[in-house]
Amino acid sequence: MKSKWLGMVSVTALMVGAQVSGAFAAGLDDLVAAAKKEGSLTTIALPHDWCGYGAVIDAFKAKYPEITINELNPDAGSGDEIEAIKANKGNTGPQAPDVIDVGLSFGPSAKADGLIQPYKVSTWDSIPDSAKDADGYWYGDYYGVLSFLVNDDIVKTAPKSWADLKNSEYANSFALTGDPRVSNQAIQSVYAAGLANGGQPGKDAGEKGLAFFAELNKATNFVPVIGKAASVAQGTTPIVVNWDYNALAWRDGFQGNPKAQVIVPSDAVVAGVYIQAISAFAPHPNAAKLWMEYLYSDEGQLGWLKGYCHPIRFNDLASKKAVPADLLAKLPDAALYAKAVFPSLDEQAAAKEAITKNWDASVGANVK
Amino acid sequence: MKRGSRFWSWVIFGLTVAYFILPLIATFEFSLRIRREGYTFDAYAIVFADPKFQQTFLYSIVIGICTIIVGLLITVPAAYYVRLKAPQLRPIIEFVTLLPLVIPAIILVFGYIRLYNSSSILPLTNSNLGTDVLLTFAYVALALPYMYRAVDTGLRTIDVRTLTEAANILGASQVTIISRVIFPNIIVAVLSGAFLTLAIVIGEFTIASLLNRQVFGVYMQNIGANKAYTPQALAVVSFVITWGAMGMIQLLARFAPKTARTT
Amino acid sequence: MANVSATADSNTGPVSTGPVVRSGGNPFRFLGALSLGDYLAIAPFVIFALMFLLVPTLGLVVGAFVDAQGNFTLQNIAGLDDPQIMRAFTISVEISAITALLGSGIGLVIALAVIRGGLPSAMRSSLVTFSGVASNFAGLPLAFAFIATLGRLGLVTIILKTLFGFDLSRSFNVISFWGLAVTYLYFQIPLMILIIAPAIDGIKKEWNEAAATLGATNRQFWLWVGLPILWPNLLGSLSLLFANAFGAIATAYALTGSSLNIVPILLYAQIQGDVLHNPGLGAALALGMIVITAFANVIYLVVRTRAERWLR
């Protein structure tokens, strides 16, 4: 009895110590034990074909079978995830998310609103400084560039750039893959369109992007729905814009029917980083931390690589020669990434403000 | 009737048949197109082999059966007593059975989430079992009008009063009367209601998705967003189930007692 | 059997000899005649109705008038005056009204043709049976079916392109307002047929003959006899179809996704993710929906009871 008490006290002390100092989780075994005791982890907005999350989740489940994963709303956008934390503030039930995976610009605002708690994984030092919060509140997980996914069976000549999209042969064809008022993917798409139209990084590109979409809407090239793999294949939205890893994953999912290609627009290559964070009100904080440890381990990072994402520790893994050659070959061309623009936090924040506030007013694209 | 008007009647009937049959044919044809090479049933093979399909389908069936049982436990005694002892209560009960038809499902589930969340006296949404219970009751509410009507129709065709008095003479308790005398006699009507309930539960989406339950409807929506040809295969499966349930109801109608039994 | 019945009278427990209420007396007096067993039988029904029908709905109605602190407020209702919300109500009303009107009109024509158009009676029964099933087709499978029919790769689109050279997909997208309207008609028309068939049956052949002997043409019959009898039913069915379309969400969600700004989808997004950033506003939205659908349904019920008088 006494030894059990001591054991529990030491576990608690370690947990408290880990939280307070934010130091690396020295007591990884204790973390595993504590996580297993919690027995469950609630995730949100993780589609199984996004960065290969399906395989990553399955691998986590196989490694820790005592922890059941409760997956909420895979179609949620970054904004929806933040709302879910807010809405479930006092709730310890299965509707409250433990961990979130949101766009870069959503990190600082979530920290300011007190919605996330800090945690530094054991591989913290190998995450580039530009992609993490110094206090450990949020940390980049993977990145990719925006690209077009084109259904070749329906679209005879694929668009090569944002400017091409205005062509009249693409009537009733082009859609975003998210709601530009909440989805990071969609907001960045509008931003990229703005950059392609000569916008300065930041608010200007946001506004020029809105103008571009207003034009596209008037020309009836724009279909004001959220494009999905199904709608691309079934032809209701044969051209969509999304992250290259998603486009590649969807293309694979078609299994040749229809034929599709992934094209990075020539007039603007915008890269985007996503970040992980643990909810400040997480009902299962230890399971959440264990999840983070897994994601940032070599195994987790390679899991994302399989899903065509560039994991944030890519350079670290490459220098250790930990990346299998065949996976490396399947990734998009490194030359494209050389041209890629990584919008800074301030630029993203300014553009996001402009786009989310003014989408309804300036583009006014309601489903007609 | 005049020659001319009969011609137009046939035209209208023909167009109607076309409008209703065409989507069914189109769906089936679309589901066969999954491979470029030609028509195959691969979409169905993929669907049936998918563990998520089996999981969610099984879960929906189980919830459906629970719904039927709970629904019967609620409606049969009430319909019995209204018919036997208190016909004045009939308007109230019929009003209640109308409510699910008037209140949209999304309003119902919104009310449940507000009423039974973590901060209420009955925090059903806090646990998985609690949420399953809530889902079952939600489906009972959706199916209540049909279930009640089926049971009531069944009771109308048997001589409830005589059966009850005879059972009383033989010393049966109330519970025994309802379960062993009345219920077996209305089983055909009850089965009709049960099949209709099953059809409703299998196809339901709104309530389950807001309660985060992995039912067949939620699975269908997920596939519908992410895959190209398998959703249509699922739609065909769904149509077959609905048609099957309705067919069973028609079949049962033939076996229903038309007049009071005289044993 | 006689001696058994003698003992039966003394043995009968809670079975009464019939309802105890006398006309004109206190209607609740009968409650005294019911025993504990009777209450227990009705109790599950009543408790269920309270817990899972009445109280949740009333809770929403009340919640629309209460702010975050619990005080009475009209702020939530006032908050409905937001452009996005008003637009949602407008589009919802539009699609419900259009599909109700088209559904009623087309359903009426079909029902008239099949029931009174001189077709064999087998057509009528098969149509009614099919309508019974089709009116339940709403939901996700219906959306998938119409994508397979009218989508860019749909059967009808392909037939139109190959046979007539007409490219439907250049101007019409099935995931749009009008695509949704056409899809909704698939369950609105059968519902109309189901409702109006008994009413059309009620227009007796004798009336036709009586009018004919008085010299009326077919058109005059319908204008002066048929339609006046039918119009309450038509009004009722318009209301019911309107309410039916207004409350529908699954089909719209599967077809146009969460982009279509109709009230059920807005409410769905609000419940799932508090997109309006105001829980009280969600309750107000729900109240708006309840008011509209209840109003439409009440019209239908009132009309139905009145109309049944004529068609007895």
DSSP string, B132-163: HHHHHHHHHHHHHHHHHHHHHHHHHTS-HHHH
CA atoms of A275 and A97, how far apart (whole Å): 15
Q: Residue A226: CB partners within 8 Å, gap ≥ 6? A: A175, A176, A177, A178, A179, A183, C257, C258, C259
pLDDT at B3: 56
Residues 6+ apart with CB under 8 A from C256: A225, A367, C175, C176, C179, C180
The nearest CA of chain B is from the CA of C257 a distance in Å of 9
CA dist C75 and C278 (Å) reads 11
- What per-residue confidence (pLDDT) applies to A57? 95
- Cβ pair B231:C13 closer than 8 A: no
- Search chain B and give the residue with CA nearest C285: B107
Do A318 and A349 sit in the same domain of this protein?
A: no
Q: How far apart are CA B114 and CA B123, in angstroms?
A: 10
Phi/psi for A309 (5° steps) reads: -85, 150
Q: What is the pLDDT of residue A364?
A: 66
Answer whether residue B261 shows pLDDT above 70: no
Which pLDDT value is given to residue C14?
42
pLDDT of residue C37: 66
CB neighbour class for A45 (10 Å; exposed up to 12, middle 13-18, buried from 19) = buried
Give the global pTM: 0.82
Q: Which of C147, C152, C175 sits opposite A154 (nearest CB)?
A: C152
pLDDT at C12: 38
Where does the pLDDT of residue B114 fall: very low under 50, low under 70, confident under 90, or very high at 90 and above?
Answer: confident
C281 falls in which pLDDT band (50, 70, 90)?
confident
CB pair distance less than 8 Å for C123 and B13: yes
Shared domain for A10 and A26, answered yes or no, is yes
CA–CA dist C169, B76 (Å, integer): 53
**Nearest to residue A141, comparing CAs of A180, A179, A106?**
A106
Q: What are phi and psi of B262, to 5 degrees?
A: -125, 90
Which portions of chain A are predicted below pLDDT 70? Answer: 1-26, 364-368
Name every chain B residue with its beta carbon within 8 A of the beta carbon of A74. Answer: 222
Judged by a CB distance cut-off of 8 A, whether residue B137 touches chain C is yes
Domain boundaries, chain B: 1-40, 50-255
User: Min CA distance, A218 vs chain C (Å)?
Assistant: 13
Average pLDDT over chain C, rounded to an integer: 81
Residues 119-178 of C with CB under 8 A from A: 147, 151-153, 169-171, 173-177
In this structure, are residues B235 and B30 in contact, taking their beta carbons and an 8 Å threshold?
Answer: no
> In angstroms, what separates the C-alpha of C75 from chain B's closest C-alpha?
19
Is it the case that residue C159 has pLDDT exceeding 80?
Answer: yes
pLDDT band at B257 (very low <50, low <70, confident <90, very high): low
| Mean pLDDT lowest among B52-66, C52-66, C138-152, C207-221 | C207-221
Q: Please give the angle made by the CA atoms of C48, C51 and C56, to the nearest 5 degrees.
A: 135
* Predicted pLDDT of residue B171: 86
Q: What is the pLDDT of residue C28?
A: 52
| Domain ranges, residue A6 | 2-141+277-330
Q: Percent of chain B at pLDDT above 70?
A: 95
> From CA C191, how far away is CA C235, in angstroms rounded?
14
Q: Per the domain annotation, does A123 fall within a domain?
A: yes
CB of C254 within 8 Å of any CB in chain B? yes
Is B29 part of the contact surface with chain C (CB cutoff 8 Å)?
A: yes
A241: CATH: 3.40.190.10
The verdict on A9 and A58 lying in the same domain is yes
A175 and A89, same structural domain?
no
Residue C33 — pLDDT band, cuts 50, 70, 90? low
Segment holding C167, helix H or strand E? none
Backbone angles phi, psi at A178, to 5 degrees: -170, 170
Position B142 scores a pLDDT of 93
- Distance from C-alpha of C280 to C-alpha of C68, rounded to nearest angstrom: 7
Query: Do residue B34 and residue A257 have CB atoms under 8 angstroms apart?
Result: yes
Q: Are residues A79 and A195 in the same domain?
A: no
pLDDT at A368: 45
CB pairs under 8 A between A and C: 68
Q: Where are the domains of chain C?
A: 20-63, 82-310
Per-residue pLDDT, averaged over B87-93, amounts to 84
Residue A313 lies in a domain: yes
Cβ count near B184 (within 10 Å)? 9
Judge if the upstream peptide bond of residue B145 is cis by omega within 30 degrees of 0.
no
Query: Can you spell out the DSSP letters for A85-133?
Result: HHHTTT--STTS-SEEEEETTHHHHHHHTT-EE----TTGGGS-GGGB-
The answer to whether A148 touches A239, Cβ cutoff 8 Å, is yes
CB contact under 8 A, A367 and C260: yes
Let me know whether A6 and A136 are in one domain: yes
Nearest residue to A186 via CA among A140, A235, A222: A222
Residue B64 has pLDDT above 80, yes or no: yes
Q: For residue A161, which amino acid is it?
A: S
Interface touch B117/A91, C-beta < 8 Å: yes
Backbone angles phi, psi at A355, to 5 degrees: -70, -50
Residue C62 and residue C57: Cα distance in Å, rounded?
Answer: 9
Give contacts of B206 with chain C, Cβ < 8 Å. Answer: 249-250, 268
Chains contacting chain A through 3 or more C-beta pairs under 8 A: B, C
Question: How far is the CA of C47 from the CAs of B115, B145, B180, C153, C304, in angstroms?
Answer: 15, 16, 25, 51, 29
pLDDT of C24 over the 50 cut? no
Whether A212 and A341 share a structural domain = yes
Amino acid identity for residue A221 in this structure? N
- The residue ranges of DSSP E strands in chain A, in sequence order, are 40-44, 68-72, 99-103, 116-117, 139-151, 174-176, 239-243, 260-263, 271-279, 310-311
Question: Which residues does chain B have within 8 Å of residue A238's beta carbon, measured at their own beta carbons?
Answer: none
Q: Are residues A251 and A107 in the same domain?
A: no
A255 or C93, which is more confident: C93
Distance separating alpha carbons of residues A271 and A337, to the nearest angstrom: 8
Give the confidence band of C245 by pLDDT, cuts at 50, 70, 90.
very high
How far, CA to CA in Å, does A41 sit from each of A35, A64, A95, A278?
A: 9, 11, 11, 11
**pLDDT per position as a tens digit, B158-204:** 888 888 888 889 888 888 888 888 888 888 889 888 988 998 898 89
Same domain, A45 and A149: no
ipTM of the complex: 0.86
Pair (A232, A343) in one structural domain:
yes
Mean pLDDT of C4-15: 37
- Has domain C82-310 been given CATH number 1.10.3720.10? yes
Rounded mean pLDDT, B208-221: 90
Lowest mean pLDDT among A217-221, C268-272, C284-288: C268-272
Other CB atoms within 10 Å distance of the CB of residue C289: 24
What is the distance of C-alpha A258 from the center of its chain? 26
pLDDT at site C2: 35
**What class has domain B50-255?**
mainly alpha
Question: What pLDDT does residue C13 have?
Answer: 38
Q: Are residue A346 and residue A322 in the same domain, yes or no?
A: no
Q: Are residues A246 and A303 located together in one domain of the fold?
A: no
